[in-house]
Amino acid sequence: MQEAVQICDLTFSYGNIQVLRKLNFSLQEGEWIGIQGANGAGKSTFLHLLLGLKRADSGEILLFGQDVEKFTDWEWVSFVSQSSFSRRTQFPASVEEIVSMPLQWRRKKRLLSKENMKREVKRALRLVQMEDFIHRQLNQLSGGQVQRVQLAQALAGHPKLILLDEPTTGLDKETTAELDHLFEGLRRRREESGLVISHDLHWLKSSVDSVYTLDKGVLERL
Ligand SMILES: Nc1ncnc2c1ncn2[C@@H]1O[C@H](COP(=O)(O)OP(=O)(O)O)[C@@H](O)[C@H]1O
Ligand SMILES: [Mg+2]
Protein backbone atom coordinates (compact mmCIF):
# COMPACT_ATOMS: atom_id res chain seq x y z
CA MET A 1 0.00 0.00 0.00
CA GLN A 2 1.25 3.48 -0.86
CA GLU A 3 1.92 6.15 1.70
CA ALA A 4 -0.51 9.05 1.44
CA VAL A 5 1.81 11.18 3.56
CA GLN A 6 5.45 10.72 4.40
CA ILE A 7 7.38 13.26 6.40
CA CYS A 8 11.06 13.15 7.16
CA ASP A 9 12.89 15.42 9.62
CA LEU A 10 10.48 18.31 9.20
CA THR A 11 11.47 21.49 10.99
CA PHE A 12 9.50 24.72 10.95
CA SER A 13 9.86 28.05 12.75
CA TYR A 14 7.98 31.32 12.90
CA GLY A 15 10.89 33.78 12.98
CA ASN A 16 13.22 32.44 15.63
CA ILE A 17 10.54 30.40 17.40
CA GLN A 18 10.78 26.75 16.43
CA VAL A 19 7.34 25.13 16.29
CA LEU A 20 8.17 21.71 14.75
CA ARG A 21 11.45 19.89 15.36
CA LYS A 22 12.76 17.12 13.10
CA LEU A 23 9.36 15.57 12.89
CA ASN A 24 8.83 12.17 11.24
CA PHE A 25 5.44 10.84 10.28
CA SER A 26 3.69 8.60 7.81
CA LEU A 27 0.10 7.87 6.92
CA GLN A 28 -0.79 4.86 4.76
CA GLU A 29 -3.60 4.93 2.23
CA GLY A 30 -6.81 3.92 4.00
CA GLU A 31 -5.46 4.72 7.45
CA TRP A 32 -6.92 7.31 9.86
CA ILE A 33 -4.56 8.99 12.27
CA GLY A 34 -5.25 11.59 14.92
CA ILE A 35 -2.87 14.22 16.22
CA GLN A 36 -3.57 15.62 19.65
CA GLY A 37 -1.89 18.66 21.10
CA ALA A 38 -2.59 21.61 23.37
CA ASN A 39 -3.54 24.99 21.97
CA GLY A 40 -0.53 26.48 20.27
CA ALA A 41 1.28 23.13 19.91
CA GLY A 42 1.61 23.60 16.14
CA LYS A 43 -1.17 21.34 14.87
CA SER A 44 -2.67 23.76 12.37
CA THR A 45 0.82 24.77 11.26
CA PHE A 46 1.54 21.10 10.57
CA LEU A 47 -1.54 20.82 8.33
CA HIS A 48 -0.68 24.04 6.51
CA LEU A 49 2.77 22.63 5.75
CA LEU A 50 1.17 19.46 4.38
CA LEU A 51 -0.99 21.58 2.11
CA GLY A 52 2.00 23.51 0.85
CA LEU A 53 0.61 26.74 2.33
CA LYS A 54 3.77 27.17 4.40
CA ARG A 55 7.30 26.21 3.57
CA ALA A 56 9.44 24.05 5.87
CA ASP A 57 12.82 25.27 7.16
CA SER A 58 14.17 21.81 6.40
CA GLY A 59 13.03 18.25 5.88
CA GLU A 60 10.83 16.52 3.36
CA ILE A 61 7.06 16.26 2.88
CA LEU A 62 5.79 13.72 0.37
CA LEU A 63 2.16 13.39 -0.70
CA PHE A 64 1.52 10.12 -2.52
CA GLY A 65 5.24 9.89 -3.14
CA GLN A 66 5.62 13.38 -4.59
CA ASP A 67 7.32 16.35 -3.00
CA VAL A 68 4.63 18.74 -1.73
CA GLU A 69 6.21 21.63 -3.63
CA LYS A 70 5.84 19.76 -6.92
CA PHE A 71 2.57 18.05 -6.09
CA THR A 72 -0.20 18.77 -8.58
CA ASP A 73 -2.97 16.26 -7.77
CA TRP A 74 -4.68 18.52 -5.25
CA GLU A 75 -8.10 17.11 -6.13
CA TRP A 76 -6.98 14.03 -4.17
CA VAL A 77 -6.71 16.10 -1.01
CA SER A 78 -9.51 17.77 0.90
CA PHE A 79 -9.13 20.02 3.88
CA VAL A 80 -11.58 21.46 6.36
CA SER A 81 -9.95 24.28 8.27
CA GLN A 82 -10.37 25.02 11.94
CA SER A 83 -12.14 28.29 11.18
CA SER A 84 -14.70 26.68 8.90
CA PHE A 85 -15.59 24.19 11.64
CA SER A 86 -16.16 27.01 14.09
CA ARG A 87 -17.74 29.36 11.55
CA ARG A 88 -21.18 30.67 12.38
CA THR A 89 -23.91 29.11 10.30
CA GLN A 90 -25.17 32.37 8.81
CA PHE A 91 -23.47 31.79 5.46
CA PRO A 92 -26.30 32.11 2.90
CA ALA A 93 -26.09 28.81 1.05
CA SER A 94 -27.97 25.55 0.80
CA VAL A 95 -26.54 22.20 1.83
CA GLU A 96 -26.40 21.20 -1.83
CA GLU A 97 -24.40 24.30 -2.77
CA ILE A 98 -21.91 23.76 0.05
CA VAL A 99 -21.30 20.10 -0.74
CA SER A 100 -21.01 20.70 -4.50
CA MET A 101 -18.31 23.39 -4.10
CA PRO A 102 -15.30 21.07 -4.57
CA LEU A 103 -16.95 19.65 -7.70
CA GLN A 104 -17.64 22.95 -9.43
CA TRP A 105 -14.32 23.16 -11.26
CA ARG A 106 -14.97 19.72 -12.83
CA ARG A 107 -18.41 20.93 -13.82
CA LYS A 108 -16.96 24.11 -15.38
CA LYS A 109 -14.42 22.08 -17.34
CA ARG A 110 -17.30 19.85 -18.47
CA LEU A 111 -15.70 16.83 -16.82
CA LEU A 112 -18.87 16.25 -14.81
CA SER A 113 -22.49 16.46 -15.91
CA LYS A 114 -25.10 18.22 -13.81
CA GLU A 115 -26.76 14.89 -13.06
CA ASN A 116 -23.52 13.24 -11.98
CA MET A 117 -22.67 16.21 -9.80
CA LYS A 118 -26.01 15.87 -8.05
CA ARG A 119 -25.46 12.14 -7.67
CA GLU A 120 -22.06 12.75 -6.10
CA VAL A 121 -23.49 15.36 -3.70
CA LYS A 122 -26.15 12.86 -2.64
CA ARG A 123 -23.58 10.11 -2.17
CA ALA A 124 -21.47 12.34 0.06
CA LEU A 125 -24.53 13.41 2.08
CA ARG A 126 -25.59 9.79 2.46
CA LEU A 127 -22.19 8.97 4.00
CA VAL A 128 -22.87 11.49 6.76
CA GLN A 129 -26.57 10.61 7.00
CA MET A 130 -27.71 14.04 5.81
CA GLU A 131 -29.32 13.11 2.50
CA ASP A 132 -32.74 14.40 3.57
CA PHE A 133 -31.31 17.87 4.22
CA ILE A 134 -30.05 18.53 0.71
CA HIS A 135 -32.38 21.50 0.11
CA ARG A 136 -32.01 23.09 3.55
CA GLN A 137 -30.21 26.36 4.11
CA LEU A 138 -27.13 26.10 6.30
CA ASN A 139 -28.65 28.48 8.84
CA GLN A 140 -31.51 26.02 9.37
CA LEU A 141 -29.19 23.33 10.74
CA SER A 142 -27.86 22.50 14.19
CA GLY A 143 -24.13 22.70 14.95
CA GLY A 144 -23.71 18.94 14.59
CA GLN A 145 -25.57 18.93 11.28
CA VAL A 146 -23.35 21.73 9.93
CA GLN A 147 -20.34 19.63 10.90
CA ARG A 148 -21.75 16.70 8.95
CA VAL A 149 -22.29 18.92 5.92
CA GLN A 150 -18.65 20.08 6.14
CA LEU A 151 -17.59 16.43 6.22
CA ALA A 152 -19.79 15.68 3.21
CA GLN A 153 -18.08 18.55 1.38
CA ALA A 154 -14.71 17.03 2.28
CA LEU A 155 -15.85 13.64 0.98
CA ALA A 156 -17.35 14.88 -2.29
CA GLY A 157 -15.35 14.01 -5.37
CA HIS A 158 -13.64 10.93 -3.87
CA PRO A 159 -10.54 12.48 -2.30
CA LYS A 160 -7.77 10.08 -1.22
CA LEU A 161 -6.72 12.14 1.77
CA ILE A 162 -8.88 14.15 4.14
CA LEU A 163 -7.39 16.66 6.56
CA LEU A 164 -9.65 17.87 9.35
CA ASP A 165 -8.59 20.58 11.77
CA GLU A 166 -10.53 20.40 15.06
CA PRO A 167 -13.80 18.93 13.73
CA THR A 168 -15.40 18.84 17.19
CA THR A 169 -15.05 22.57 17.80
CA GLY A 170 -18.18 23.94 19.42
CA LEU A 171 -19.98 20.58 19.65
CA ASP A 172 -21.65 19.24 22.79
CA LYS A 173 -20.90 15.76 24.16
CA GLU A 174 -23.75 13.97 22.40
CA THR A 175 -22.96 15.48 19.01
CA THR A 176 -19.28 14.67 19.45
CA ALA A 177 -20.27 11.05 20.15
CA GLU A 178 -22.34 11.04 16.94
CA LEU A 179 -19.24 12.13 15.04
CA ASP A 180 -17.31 9.12 16.52
CA HIS A 181 -19.90 6.87 15.00
CA LEU A 182 -19.62 8.57 11.65
CA PHE A 183 -15.83 8.32 11.61
CA GLU A 184 -16.07 4.64 12.45
CA GLY A 185 -18.19 4.14 9.32
CA LEU A 186 -15.76 6.11 7.16
CA ARG A 187 -12.76 4.23 8.50
CA ARG A 188 -14.34 0.88 7.85
CA ARG A 189 -14.71 1.77 4.17
CA ARG A 190 -10.95 2.32 3.83
CA GLU A 191 -11.54 4.42 0.73
CA GLU A 192 -9.84 7.52 2.06
CA SER A 193 -7.09 8.17 4.53
CA GLY A 194 -7.65 10.78 7.17
CA LEU A 195 -5.61 13.02 9.39
CA VAL A 196 -7.71 14.42 12.20
CA ILE A 197 -6.41 17.14 14.47
CA SER A 198 -7.91 17.72 17.88
CA HIS A 199 -7.05 18.92 21.36
CA ASP A 200 -9.42 16.21 22.68
CA LEU A 201 -7.42 13.02 23.29
CA HIS A 202 -10.38 11.04 24.61
CA TRP A 203 -12.43 11.73 21.49
CA LEU A 204 -9.54 11.00 19.11
CA LYS A 205 -8.85 7.64 20.72
CA SER A 206 -12.33 6.45 19.86
CA SER A 207 -12.41 8.00 16.39
CA VAL A 208 -9.19 7.03 14.56
CA ASP A 209 -6.85 4.04 14.13
CA SER A 210 -3.92 5.54 16.00
CA VAL A 211 -3.14 8.71 17.87
CA TYR A 212 -0.01 10.84 18.11
CA THR A 213 0.63 13.73 20.41
CA LEU A 214 2.40 16.90 19.40
CA ASP A 215 4.22 18.49 22.28
CA LYS A 216 7.10 20.99 22.24
CA GLY A 217 7.52 20.45 18.51
CA VAL A 218 7.89 16.68 18.81
CA LEU A 219 5.41 14.11 17.54
CA GLU A 220 5.06 10.94 19.58
CA ARG A 221 2.91 7.89 18.97
CA LEU A 222 0.71 6.95 21.92
N1 LIG B 1 1.61 33.45 11.47
C2 LIG B 1 2.20 33.23 12.65
N3 LIG B 1 3.26 33.98 13.04
C4 LIG B 1 3.90 33.74 14.20
N5 LIG B 1 3.53 32.77 15.07
C6 LIG B 1 2.48 32.01 14.75
C7 LIG B 1 1.75 32.20 13.53
N8 LIG B 1 0.75 31.29 13.47
C9 LIG B 1 0.85 30.55 14.61
N10 LIG B 1 1.87 31.01 15.38
C11 LIG B 1 2.31 30.43 16.67
O12 LIG B 1 2.80 29.12 16.43
C13 LIG B 1 2.36 28.20 17.43
C14 LIG B 1 1.56 27.08 16.79
O15 LIG B 1 0.31 27.60 16.27
P16 LIG B 1 -0.80 26.65 15.65
O17 LIG B 1 -0.18 25.80 14.62
O18 LIG B 1 -1.94 27.49 15.25
O19 LIG B 1 -1.18 25.77 16.92
P20 LIG B 1 -2.44 24.80 17.20
O21 LIG B 1 -3.17 24.63 15.93
O22 LIG B 1 -1.84 23.54 17.73
O23 LIG B 1 -3.26 25.48 18.25
C24 LIG B 1 1.59 29.04 18.44
O25 LIG B 1 2.44 29.41 19.46
C26 LIG B 1 1.15 30.26 17.63
O27 LIG B 1 1.01 31.38 18.46
MG1 LIG C 1 -5.10 25.00 15.41
Average pLDDT over residues 58-63: 98
CB neighbour burial string for 90-113, b if at least 16 within 10 angstroms, e if fewer: eeeebbbbbbbebbeebeeeeebe
Nearest residue (CA) to ligand 1, atom 3: 14
How many residues are there in the chain?
222
How far away, in angstroms, is 72 Cα from ligand 1 center? Answer: 27
How far away, in angstroms, is 184 Cα from ligand 2 center? Answer: 23
Mean pLDDT of the chain: 91
Nearest residue (CA) to ligand 1, atom 14: 42
Residue 209 has pLDDT above 70, yes or no: yes
Which residues sit with their C-beta closer than 6 Å to ligand 1?
Answer: 14, 19, 37, 39-45
Residue 85 has pLDDT above 60, yes or no: no
How far away, in angstroms, is 19 Cα from ligand 2 center? Answer: 12
Ligand 1 pocket test, candidate residues 13, 16, 18, 19, most atoms within 8 A of CB: 19
Closest CA to 81 of 158, 154, 4: 154
d(CA 104, CA 121) in angstroms, rounded, equals 11
Strand order in the sheet with 161-165: 77-80, 161-165, 193-198, 32-36, 210-215, 218-221
What is the band of 84 on the pLDDT scale with cuts at 50, 70, 90? low
- Prediction pTM value: 0.92
Average pLDDT over residues 47-51: 97
Average pLDDT over residues 174-203: 88
What pLDDT was estimated at residue 197?
A: 95
SS3 for the chain is: CCEEEEEEEEEEEECCEEEEEEEEEEEECCCEEEEECCCCCCHHHHHHHHCCCCCCCEEEEEECCEECCCCCCHHHEEEECHHHHHCCCCCCCEHHHHHHHHHHHHHHCCCCCHHHHHHHHHHHHHHCCCHHHCCCEHHHCCHHHHHHHHHHHHHCCCCCEEEEECCCCCCCHHHHHHHHHHHHHHHHHCCCEEEEEECCHHHHHHHCCEEEEEECCEEEEC
Bridge partners (DSSP) of residue 94 are: 137
Nearest residue (CA) to ligand 1, atom 1: 14
